[in-house]
Homo-oligomer: A and B are copies of this chain.
Amino acid sequence: MYQSTLNWSLAILDKTIPDVIVGRLPRYLGTLEQMEREGINKTSSQELGERLNISAAQIRKDLSQFGEFGKQGTGYSVPFLVERLRSILKVDRMWEMVLVGAGDLGHAIARYQGFTDCGFTIAMIFDNDPAKVGVNIGGFRVEDVANLVSKVKSRTIQVAMITVPASSAQAVADCLVQAGVRAILNYAPTVLNVPSGIRVQYIDPVIHLQRMTYYLD
């Protein structure tokens, strides 16, 4: 009896946020960080919405899912909202990432400086090409993918990026899951099958381009 009451109240408190809202939070955070760099200390749902092409009502509704972050009449404190969003998105810490695939794209990502300030850092790079294993990229020695499972497991890394050809992406994903990875950013143009509970996001320029040519003539 007590148990079920407890569960019920927890269920209320711990309400599930729709994925479409979660998907907008990183965009809010990015724009607010930009405002911070510009020295802006206060903002409103209106102003934020204009920067993002999102309605003010939607921004207020989204943010209100997580607490009352604003003040009537004055709006939101930019640094406070940045701090809250970082905490909500769990990027108030540093996530170590594995990068699998040391081709051109893997190189570019390994050398990209934009991850650190956003809560991410590359910890290991793997490839299956003997010619690449041992090579230094962005300060890391490329490791043999054959050792991926044990090495990733031993460092309890939860986030991975896949930049291998489509034909080997599923096999790589299987290894990553086996190694305990729970979030995968897949640059290979193929759908990955993963157990439920493992998050996958896709980056495929062709998908974006084809979505635009529909409107051209």
Binding site for B on A (CB under 8 A): 22-23, 25-27, 29-31, 34, 51-53, 88-91, 95, 97, 103-105, 107-109, 111-112, 114-115, 118-120, 158-159, 161, 182-183, 185, 189-191, 199, 201, 203-217
Closest to A110 in B: B104
Number of copies: 2
- Contact across chains for A203 and B201 when beta carbons are under 8 A apart: no
- Contact across chains for B30 and A206 when beta carbons are under 8 A apart: yes
23 A-B pairs with CB atoms under 8 Å apart are A22-B214, A23-B211, A25-B210, A25-B211, A26-B206, A26-B207, A30-B189, A52-B191, A90-B213, A90-B214, A97-B209, A105-B108, A107-B108, A114-B206, A115-B205, A115-B209, A119-B209, A119-B210, A119-B213, A161-B205, A183-B209, A183-B213, A203-B205
A213 vs B204: C-alpha distance in the bound complex, in angstroms?
20
- Contact across chains for B213 and A89 when beta carbons are under 8 A apart: yes
Q: Kindly identify which residue among B88, B191, B206 contacts A51, using a CB–CB cutoff of 8 Å.
A: B191
- Contact across chains for B119 and A111 when beta carbons are under 8 A apart: no
CB distance from A84 to the nearest CB of B (A): 13
A25 vs B208: C-alpha distance in the bound complex, in angstroms?
11
Closest 9 CB pairs of A and B: A183-B212, A104-B108, A26-B210, A201-B208, A199-B212, A108-B108, A118-B206, A105-B108, A26-B207
Closest to A27 in B: B207
A130 vs B51: C-alpha distance in the bound complex, in angstroms?
33
A173 vs B34: C-alpha distance in the bound complex, in angstroms?
19
Q: Kindly identify which residue among B115, B161, B182, B214 contacts A89, using a CB–CB cutoff of 8 Å.
A: B214
B-chain residues with CB within 8 Å of residue A209 when the two chains form the complex: 95, 97, 115, 118-120, 159, 183, 185, 201
Most buried by B among A53, A103, A201, A213: A213
A30 vs B203: C-alpha distance in the bound complex, in angstroms?
14
